[in-house]
Structure 1
Amino acid sequence: MGTFLAFGEIMLRLSPPGRELLMQSPRFDVWVAGAEANVVTQLARLGHDVAMASRVPDNDLGRSAVTTLRGHGVDVRHIQTGGERMGLYFVTSGAGMRATEVIYDRAGSSFAEAPVSAWDWDAILDGVDRLHLSGITPALGPVPAESAIAAAAAASARGIAVSFDGNWRGKLWARWDGDPRAILTRIVEHADLMFGNHRDIALLLGRDDFGGAGEDRRRAAAEAAFARFPRLMTIASTARHVEHVDRNRLSARIDTRDDSAQTPETLLVGIVDRIGGGDAFAAGVLHALRQGQGIAAAAETGLAIAALKHSLPGDAALFRQADVDAFLNDGLDVRR
């Protein structure tokens, strides 16, 4: 089998300890972060060959991030050094009826400032059989947007499968005058697998007239996306119902052109950290499909890893196959 390659920004996430407010006390917990990096990190933990293409500054922050990814089994040879600063973001964890809050400090980051010409796709895509992208990279500005489009086109031209996670980030798009629909469409045109729900599809299609509610609406949206994007074969999504910060219900769904699979809701209580749950879901679906599992099993595996991520602080899910199997088999007792 070939290699999963992710292209996107590697960041550092800073959070006040526990559930304190930002700067309530003068210290932070720090984790390596980034949607695409989270996906390949979890895939590596599940035994897959994975690589990351990105750019970090040549300083202790950048080197530490690369070292962390390497330690998880990610091939880092295509992570360049250059530029002046590491992208950062701050997460203040919610509690009770107080929602989690995110502040970005990534403008002018090493990755965001990398020119389109920085990426040698012939070399980067050698030995790769799936490229994973997200909607975060094009939201960073016109140059990262063109780089993401070029990556998708280069992979498609070489017969390499492309997966795309919508990962809508309104705060990032609001910082510049880009056209999200036009830009994201140019990426999704190359994708065979998309992670996104009816709202992501509505943005891409410029319409939100999908009939019905719940599962019917999601199926109608998927069929509309399949009609618009000939290469697109599979759409995976989750649905979350938030009762309060510590009690959520999560389900998963996968649609193909001629079939669909929907999981029951899983109750998530005692949530430690929900950030990165979508990336964990994407990794689980990619893992299951790579193993040749059907869409029902892939939806269950994606949901299992997403649910497990809620038990772990930080951005990335770090679970092994045994953890996934135990969850799917209701294994909550101590494993000795």
Structure 2
Amino acid sequence: MHNTSQPPTRIVCFGEPLLRLSPPGCELPLQSPCFNVHVGGAEANVAASLAILGHHSVMVSTLPDNMLGRACAGELRKHGVDTGGILQAEGRMGVYYLSPGAMHRPSEVLYDRADSAFARIPADAYDWPSLLAGVQWLHLSGINLALGKTTSQAALAAVHAARAAGVSISFDCNYRSKLWGERAAHAPAVLREIVSHADLLFGNDRDIALMLGMAFPQADAIARFRAAADDAFAAWPHLQRMAATERLHRNVDDQDLFGLMATRERVLTTATHALSNVVDRIGGGDAFAAGLLHGLFRGMPDEAMLDFAITAACLKHSIPGDVNLLREADMLAFLAQGGFEVRR
């Protein structure tokens, strides 16, 4: 199916690892006097998943020089992530609170990230030429841009250095209106600047509409994605692929999910997968991104690459926490429709 004899791809993921605090089960916050704690964050999730899949993933970030920062870095190392690119600085740990939904009550996220060590460190603290030496890929997301001017400048410096060094770039739009806040009016221009350097874009028609100030009124999701991809390729000559997931909710616990990917020649879609009794959907998009990058690094054909990515996203919904902990063999077993018998 693909070449596994080639050396592991070295990829740098730039972003802020976070602590996620959520009440047990489907309780509301403080309904019980305890929280479950997971380490997450968009780029950290991708880094961990790619390390589990056998790649050399390097996390570049800044964490507080305290017990929480050290514990977070240790959790990433446990998954095989190279944390040599993580700086330590004064400041607090970024946190988000997740109130898990159930039935027809949606989940809700509350961010507590202001003035974190990552948000406060100067943009020029990162030595990008050194950090990108020997690296094939850089992955980052729009969350860096939303956190403030300093982190936005750091992200722009990263992509400029990557482009100068011939390092390929993948970018996940990850537009979070709560994080942009009063800076939301600046989002389209800053996102456009980053995407102009990207080889691979994780985004949908809503992201393209936001960045280009356009509307995609097509009733069909695939038609909207195709039209948005056409405009994205016209706007950004460097872009080679655009990928996204499409989700249909029956309620919080039962959903349908399929994947889409556009190249400059065609648009591909996957089968639609029914997800019943969802355990945890947080990180599903990051699992999809890691799965697609894994397929790309392994030289999979486009169809196989996209199928692997949506499989990773689907299976992530069965894993508590932000990170997809499953291996390549688990995704391939799903694709082979091995059924639900115990694998002994």
Tell me the TM-score normalised to structure 1 length. Answer: 0.98
Structure 1 position 89 matched with structure 2 position 96: yes
Q: Which residue of 2 aligns with 1:334?
A: 342
SS in structure 2 at match of 1:330: coil
Which digits, 9 at most, give the CA deviation of each residue in 1:210-262, with x for residues without a partner? 65632122111101000000100000111000000110000001100002211
Structure 1 residues 298 and 87: CA distance shift in structure 2, 3 A: same
CA distance in 1, matches of 2:150, 2:65: 21
SS in structure 2 at match of 1:102: strand
Q: Which residue of 2 aligns with 1:77?
A: 84
CA distance in 2, matches of 1:13, 1:214: 32
- C-alpha displacement of 1:196: 0.5
Corresponding residue to 2:32 among 25, 29, 34 = 25
CA contact (8 A) 1:4 1:130 kept: yes
CA distance in 2, matches of 1:199, 1:178: 16
CA distance in 2, matches of 1:110, 1:290: 32
CA distance in 1, matches of 2:226, 2:71: 43
Q: Which residue of 2 aligns with 1:254?
A: 261
CA contact (8 A) 1:241 1:250 kept: yes
Q: What is the identity, as a one-letter code, of the residue corresponding to 1:333?
A: E
Q: Which residue of 2 aligns with 1:301?
A: 308
- State how 1:211-250 maps to structure 2 within 5 Å: 211=218, 213-250=220-257
CA distance in 2, matches of 1:242, 1:74: 33
- State how 1:188-227 maps to structure 2 within 5 Å: 188-209=195-216, 211=218, 213-227=220-234
State the superposition RMSD in angstroms: 1.1
CA distance in 1, matches of 2:151, 2:10: 23
CA contact (8 A) 2:142 2:172 kept: yes
Structure 1 position 11 matched with structure 2 position 18: yes
Instruction: Report the identity percentage.
Output: 49
Task: Say how many residue pairs are matched.
Answer: 336
Q: What is the identity, as a one-letter code, of the residue corresponding to 1:136?
A: I
Corresponding residue to 1:283 among 282, 290, 295 = 290
CA distance in 2, matches of 1:177, 1:160: 29
Q: What is the identity, as a one-letter code, of the residue corresponding to 2:291?
A: G
CA contact (8 A) 2:18 2:40 kept: yes
CA distance in 1, matches of 2:74, 2:182: 31
CA contact (8 A) 1:4 1:129 kept: yes
Residues 224-233 or 171-180, more deviating: 171-180
- C-alpha displacement of 1:322: 1.4
CA contact (8 A) 1:15 1:28 kept: yes
Structure 1 position 133 matched with structure 2 position 140: yes
Q: Which residue of 2 aligns with 1:158?
A: 165
Structure 1 residues 249 and 228: CA distance shift in structure 2, 3 A: same
- State how 1:152-191 maps to structure 2 within 5 Å: 152-176=159-183, 179-191=186-198
**Unaligned regions of 5+ residues in structure 2, if any?**
1-6
Structure 1 residues 216 and 324: CA distance shift in structure 2, 3 A: same
Q: What is the identity, as a one-letter code, of the residue corresponding to 1:221?
A: A
CA distance in 1, matches of 2:90, 2:175: 26
SS in structure 1 at match of 2:133: coil
Q: Which residue of 1 aligns with 2:275?
A: 268
Q: Which residue of 2 aligns with 1:320?
A: 327
